[in-house]
Amino acid sequence: MRSRAETEPAVRVDRLTVEHHREPLGIGEAAPRLTWATVAGAGWTQGGYEIAVDRGGRTTTGWVEGGDSVLVAWPGAPLRSRERVEVSVRVRGKDGSTSDWSAPTAVEAGLLSPEDWTAVPVGPGPGTPPDGVWLLRREFDVRDDVVAARLYLTAHGVAEAEVNGAAVGEDVLAPGWTSYAHRLQYATHDVTALLRPGANVLGIRLADGWYRGLVGFDGGTREVYGDRVAVLCQLELHHADGTTAVVASGPDGWSAAPAPTSSASFYAGERHDARSDDRSWSAPGTPTGSWRPARDVSPRDPGTLVAPEGPPVRCTQEVEPVSVTPLEPGTFLLDFGQNLVGRLRLRVQGPRGTLVRLRHAEVLQDGRLCTRPLRGAPSVDEYVLAGGGPEEWEPRFTLHGFRYAEVSGWPGGLAPGAVTARVQHTDMERTGWFECSDPLVTRLHENVVWSMRGNFVHLPTDCPQRDERLGWTGDIQVFAPTAAFLYDCTGMLRSWLRDLAAEQLPDGTVPWYVPYVPGGPIWSPPRPGAVWGDAAVLTPWDLFERAGDRQVLVDQYDSACAWVDLVTRLAGPGRVWDQGFQLGDWLDPAAPPEDPTASVTDPHLVATAYFARSTDHLARTAEAVGRPEDAARYGALAAEVRAAFRSRYVTAEGRMTSDTQTAHALAICFDLLLPEHREPAGTRLAHLVRSSGNRIATGFAGTPLVTEALTRTGQVPTAYDLLLCAELPSWLYTVRQGGTTIWERWDSLLPDGSVNPGDMTSFNHYALGAVADWLHRTVAGLAPAEPGYRRVLFQPQPGGGLTWARARHRSPYGEVAIEWHWTDGRLDVEVEVPTGATGTVQLPLQAPREIGPGRHRLTADVPPDWADR
């Protein structure tokens, strides 16, 4: 038998990906960029690559010299609409060794030009009552020589398709929520296997979704986008002889009927009466029920139809209850052990007409569901049994945020497997992991992961459970670095950033949340606000830094400039943004519960610090996208803003005018201080942290930065004291209180176990989980030193009594990882650098070391009090 080394080349291409797609079917890029990770021995360096594209005949680039492997330009002619090709790559080392060709990756273009669309929106017509789900169907004939069939599907509303009674794909709440007036996503499905020669039926379930349903505050606003739901779809059947038949939504052959789901709303929930189920509705033949011709509805400019850049929402996990408590006959309280976002699937059998009701809540109060924090989102699903055998049901067009559910009206006992929670979110690939010797910190990290999952649902939302669920710009602005470590969210956030740019006002104002919907007087019309609006500059930068995608900066450049230019005008020649409404250090724990903007830190100090930060990052962005003049101009402006910040908010002796943790953290992290004032500011910050008993005394603006600011100024032990404090308010208080997600308020659950009486008491809000970035970078010690982790910084800064920590991240180059153990004054570290990347290791009390790809073990003498020296 031959050994592995003899049979496999020493170098191989691990995976070849296309743009930021998880599945490159129906993509919108005609010239998608390619990324591959290579597995090779230590010391191997790529000297060149060759890309082959099979477009029915294989062409290759020939060997291209160079070490690039991330987002490499598309070779050759752009893809045509619908074109399907196979791409593979092989690499050659500087040592002359060559890999085999990678396994081919199939790439298929979507409909790239507006002329590709013949479909027009069709729906039940005007005057249909809101909330109800509609069925649409169209019969069509299929020849016996179909070689491929694609369904391009979108909707004004949310839609799911069936062909001949079989579900098309597993997407949930498609086409998601974008800035509909500017961009409506369509999905591409391969439906070849669902067709058969002869009569076929395409059926669509259609609900209001974000288009016509209730969205936003105070129970929501209806019909934000329009009063008529419609489906827009195009089924294309490709025949062996090269001809194509198209079945498109439009005036011909479509009929509509109300579905047995009489209401479906994000906030209210869903009601389905299985007694009126007609399983043949999407099968050939004449279905029963009240079908009538479907109607053309408001037209849609096909130029606004876009292919998705990120994955769809799907069920990613099923969770069984950890306990089932009978409350009264037919009523049970279920605890799923985890606060999650999704819905319940029932497997039930009982008499016809039995009504099963499902109520959801994140928390309990006195042993019962506490639904008050849901505000105007009752979150009740109802199912009426058809009777006569086992039935299975899950709502389709709603989502709930819950850990507990109350099931009532249940026939008989509740058997294991009868009620299962199905977790739903944008199905991004997991890319980041962290663990350490303190189980509470590890659980905190897990809570961050769950809050990201629950709030990355087509767009990054603030919370998933109450009436709101909006794409708050400030929340993702602080959380993006953490998000980009945990999951590959580049495609999804890139798409959302396009919406941000699309909805920016002509003067550069960024709405508080994107997509914008009318809110109360504070939010409508949008006003410029620091921290939130800065997402226009800082979030593209974070994606560039983490994913190495410069194009994000190019695409968002005008939007970023518009924001900084606006703030420059608002600040005026003084360069201090001291006018107008600000949320500032929103949700400072010292602010009165009814006024979360009343933070102890001057909101205009926060605004001016962010002005400096964004201007500085815009200068870097200009540099990165090849605009040196802009870079110089914004660089000079940033210097002026920093100077203005100092003269307004820092005394000549270096004391901050707001003697608060947030003020110090911003000044340190955003490099706003004179060099000689930096360390003293760190000392003062450490003092402030200690004098608040190591509890949190910061809101949205400060909290993500305090541990980082302490670390940068040599106050690592205090950073750990802050992290490990478990008194209210603190991160670990929430863990001690049994939290399984990150909360909106530190005291969402009060010390006596009761639920905070305020009306902003979400238990699933990722923003304050942004500290996970510090866990990754500083506790474990893993950070990008160059965009895309082309150079990795391994700089663990152990402390807080932790004896070990580890983190790993699937970077564009491959897996980067670190694990350290710290015992008896000795720090043992193992790191991994993927092929194509390099690393810098900076261990405590040691000079930095440069390392190449491969696994490395390093050791350092690190006494327990190293950070105090």
> From the candidates 19, 744, 819, 832, which is the catalytic residue?
744
Task: Provide the terminal-to-terminal Cα distance of the chain, rounded to the nearest Å.
Answer: 58
Give the position of tokens 């160079």.
66
Least distance between ligand BGC and beta carbon 186 (Å)? 30
839/853 Cα distance (integer angstroms) = 8
Compute how many other C-beta atoms are within 10 angstroms of the C-beta atom of residue 827: 21
| Amino acid at site 612 | A
In the bound state with ligand BGC, the residue whose beta carbon lies nearer, of 157 and 529, is 529
Query: What is the spatial distance between Cα 134 and Cα 660, in angstroms, rounded to a whole number?
Result: 55
> CB of residue 469 vs ligand BGC: minimum separation in angstroms?
9
Residue type, 842: Q
Region of 575 (left: φ > 0; alpha: ψ -120 to 50; beta: rest) is left
Residue 306 CB, nearest approach to ligand BGC (Å): 27
Contact 811, 837 (CB under 8 A): yes
Q: Tokens standing for 503? A: 């909805």
Query: What single-letter amino acid sits at 11?
Result: V
Coil, helix or strand for 29? coil
Is the sign of the CA dihedral 638, 639, 642, 644 positive or negative? Answer: negative
Nearest residue to 658 via CA among 597, 701, 606 = 606
Out of 29, 468, 819, 832, which one is annotated catalytic? 468
Whether 786 is catalytic: no
Binding site for ligand BGC (CB under 6 A): 462-463, 468, 472, 474-475, 583, 586, 760, 765, 767
Nearest distance in Å: CB 507, ligand BGC: 21
Give dist(CA 519, CA 529) in Å, integer. Answer: 15
Q: Where are the beta strands (DSSP E) in 427-552?
A: 432-436, 456-457, 459-460
Query: Which residues make Cβ contacts (< 8 Å) with residue 451, sequence separation at least 6?
Result: 741, 742, 764, 765, 766, 769
d(CA 89, CA 49): 7
DSSP class of 91: E
Please confirm whether the linkage preceding 351 is cis (ω < 30° from 0): no
| Rounded least distance, CB 581 to ligand BGC, Å | 11
Q: How far apart, in whole angstroms, are the C-alpha atoms of residue 816 and residue 828?
A: 17
- Measured from the CB atom, the residue of 408 and 597 that comes closer to ligand BGC is 597
Please confirm, yes or no, whether 830 is among the known catalytic residues: no
Smallest gap from residue 461 Cβ to ligand BGC (A): 9
370: phi then psi, degrees, rounded to nearest 5? -105, 105
CB 47 within 8 A of CB 39: no
Residue 168 and residue 788: Cα distance in Å, rounded? 35
Nearer to ligand BGC (CB atom), residue 362 or residue 475 = 475
* Residue 208, amino acid: D
Is 397 or 523 the residue whose CB approaches ligand BGC more closely? 523
Beta carbon of residue 380, minimum distance to ligand BGC (angstroms, whole number) = 22
- Burial label, 433 (beta-carbon count in 10 A; 0-12, 13-18, 19+): middle
Q: Which is nearer to ligand BGC, 474 or 839 (CB)?
A: 474
**Number of other CB atoms surrounding residue 675 within 10 Å:** 7
- Least distance to ligand BGC from the beta carbon of 758, Å? 11
Q: Which of 561, 595, 591, 564 is nearest to 581 (CA)?
A: 595
Taking the complex as a whole, how short is the minimal distance between the CB of residue 466 and ligand BGC, in angstroms?
8
Q: Which amino acid is at 619?
A: A
**How far is C-alpha 713 from the chain's CA centre?**
32
Question: Closest separation between CB of residue 584 and ligand BGC, Å?
Answer: 10
Nearer to ligand BGC, 17 or 451 (CB): 451
Residues 757, 763, 764, 765, CA torsion sign: positive
Query: How many residues in the chain?
Result: 869
In the structure encoding, which two tokens stand for residue 233, read together? 């779809």
Q: Least distance (Å) from ligand BGC to the CB of residue 512? A: 6
Residue 840 tokens read as 């810098």
Q: Tell me the catalytic residues.
A: 468, 744
